[in-house]
Structure 1
């Protein structure tokens, strides 16, 4: 359960907070609302503005640490370990607030480890600034749910003996996804074949994402609804498979229902396509 005390903070292989030589003395920017990027326009010849939707800019998180060594040499070792862990990065990494059930994707942008001769025998301090281009706060646990596709009957199979045997009429594929945050969550979708023309409907929102594609048995497609990347076998771009007019599913706070439909492939009777939806509780 999340708690008010910051507690432990995980960055790479280093943990700050209780039980570690790095105490967390202050945190700024985690619960703050990032700067708003508004789309307001002045009303010509009138008082006030026309107001549009508000979006946030990047999130800046600042950590202040107390560093406690058992000796001057141990303090130096701790300082060098902190320096090594806060090098410039190509891609964001998870900054995890373990006891607050919160994760942000961050890059180190500033690091200050001052030298204070008066206290340097075994005590020091440090300040870190993290830049989060993605301002969302995510739950630590990635949740997922799966369902097989509903598809019309692939045809009836008749036996040469009586009574006649009929093929399956298909089954309904539904997923219930609960977003425990306060902002919309962008799920990652994985489709496993065999299936033709798969469609993913966000029942609550009324939008449908349809793909003009065929996946054979053993093939899969990864769809990132935030970046809108569509990757066959997780690497080959297939964005053109998305049918014009499709609506990308977004999980609103609370309960969401996803329906998965598709057509069975000839000769694939009895083989079922699978949709897996993965998401984290999301807030701003």
Structure 2
């Protein structure tokens, strides 16, 4: 369970850094706008240059900190060992694309999360006898967005379409919507409270065949063209660096649908899905986190 953080504090693998902790931070870089990659091409026989599209690079936080345990060098060494052990987690370090979370609490905003890896944790032991061990820490997030600390979710059964009804064949007794629901009472609404597109994780629970998931406002679809038996599920992960379609047993398969195009814009939007389900028991679960360009949303009400 996540712990509460105070302003100017960070947390990685349950280890808290920053103001008021035993690991004070002297300097931190990389919290602002991430670097970009793009070409700057000189214009032949003309003034100026041509700028290509700019794409964000990975966000790398460089943290100058240290373990402060006055008079207790053994305790300082144990904390350094905990950080090194967390960075060496084989579930992250040895798995391509695997990431872990870094939680950040900054003044004027709730806790935000970056997903990446601790790539460097170098200690200097010259002053360890005094209980002070400087640390050079780097955390690299392949996705430069900040995310909300709390994950949101929504479940949607078949038949909740704008006009109601299920995809045939069906079996009685079946209760369907008449399509008259609106507003917050209407299933399928999802809200990204951030200021940049969020990428959901979509899990379809069988039994059903040929599921198609649609984001109504953009018309973008994910069409799997498969059969999911009862007791099985398929997870469609659209998040950057994680874009896969995975069965319950861990096996993956390809889809022609561009997963990177399926995203939730800021604000409220609607998701629908269709499939063949003779039992009317299949369901779709959508999970997501609000996404932010910046650590503090300029339009956000300050946290008191």
How would you bin the TM-score normalised by the shorter chain?
0.7 to 0.9
Q: Retained in 2: the 8 A contact 1:153–1:169? A: no
Question: Residues of 1 paired with 2:197 and 2:60: CA distance?
Answer: 21
Candidates 4, 7, 32, aligned match of 1:5: 7
- 1:154 counterpart residue number: 168
Say yes or no: does 1:93 pair with 2:93.
Answer: no
Q: Taking structure 1 as reference, are residues 168 and 106 closer, same or farther at Cα in structure 2, changes over 3 Å only? A: closer
Candidates 176, 187, 190, aligned match of 2:200: 187
Q: Taking structure 1 as reference, are residues 122 and 250 closer, same or farther at Cα in structure 2, changes over 3 Å only? A: same
Q: Report how many aligned residue pairs link the two structures.
A: 266
- 1:237 counterpart residue number: 252
> TM-score normalized by structure 1?
0.79
Q: Which structure has the larger Rg?
A: 1
Give the C-alpha shift of residue 187 in structure 1: 0.7
Give the C-alpha shift of residue 250 in structure 1: 0.5
Question: Residues of 1 paired with 2:167 and 2:100: CA distance?
Answer: 46
Q: Retained in 2: the 8 A contact 1:181–1:283? A: yes
Q: Retained in 2: the 8 A contact 1:209–1:248? A: no
Q: Which runs of 5+ in 2 are unaligned?
A: 160-164, 180-185, 294-304
Q: Taking structure 1 as reference, are residues 3 and 107 closer, same or farther at Cα in structure 2, changes over 3 Å only? A: closer
Q: Retained in 2: the 8 A contact 1:154–1:169? A: no
**1:114-138 Cα distance to aligned partner (Å, 9 max, x none):** 3455x95234432312222222211
Q: Taking structure 1 as reference, are residues 156 and 264 closer, same or farther at Cα in structure 2, changes over 3 Å only? A: closer
Q: Retained in 2: the 8 A contact 1:66–1:125? A: yes
Aligned partner of residue 188 in structure 2, secondary structure: strand
Q: Which runs of 5+ in 1 are unaligned?
A: 158-165
Q: Taking structure 1 as reference, are residues 4 and 14 closer, same or farther at Cα in structure 2, changes over 3 Å only? A: closer
Question: Residues of 1 paired with 2:217 and 2:41: CA distance?
Answer: 32
**1:58-105 Cα distance to aligned partner (Å, 9 max, x none):** 111022224321414344444444444444833432111156411112
C-alpha RMSD over aligned residues? 3.2
Q: Taking structure 1 as reference, are residues 147 and 113 closer, same or farther at Cα in structure 2, changes over 3 Å only? A: same
After TM superposition, the structure 1 stretch with the greater mean CA deviation from structure 2, 229-238 or 180-189, is: 229-238
Aligned partner of residue 130 in structure 2, secondary structure: coil
Residue correspondence of structure 1 range 1-284 to structure 2 within 5 A: 5-7=7-9, 9-30=10-31, 32-38=32-38, 43-49=43-49, 51-73=51-73, 74-87=75-88, 89-90=93-94, 91-98=98-105, 100-117=110-127, 120-150=129-159, 152=166, 154=168, 168=174, 170-171=176-177, 174-226=187-239, 227-233=242-248, 235-240=250-255, 242=256, 248-265=261-278, 268=279, 271-284=280-293
Q: Taking structure 1 as reference, are residues 46 and 259 closer, same or farther at Cα in structure 2, changes over 3 Å only? A: farther
Q: Retained in 2: the 8 A contact 1:231–1:239? A: no
Question: Residues of 1 paired with 2:243 and 2:84: CA distance?
Answer: 36
Aligned partner of residue 63 in structure 1, secondary structure: strand
Give the C-alpha shift of residue 246 in structure 1: 8.5
- 2:302 counterpart residue number: none
Q: Taking structure 1 as reference, are residues 234 and 179 closer, same or farther at Cα in structure 2, changes over 3 Å only? A: farther
Q: Taking structure 1 as reference, are residues 135 and 260 closer, same or farther at Cα in structure 2, changes over 3 Å only? A: same
Q: Taking structure 1 as reference, are residues 39 and 211 closer, same or farther at Cα in structure 2, changes over 3 Å only? A: farther
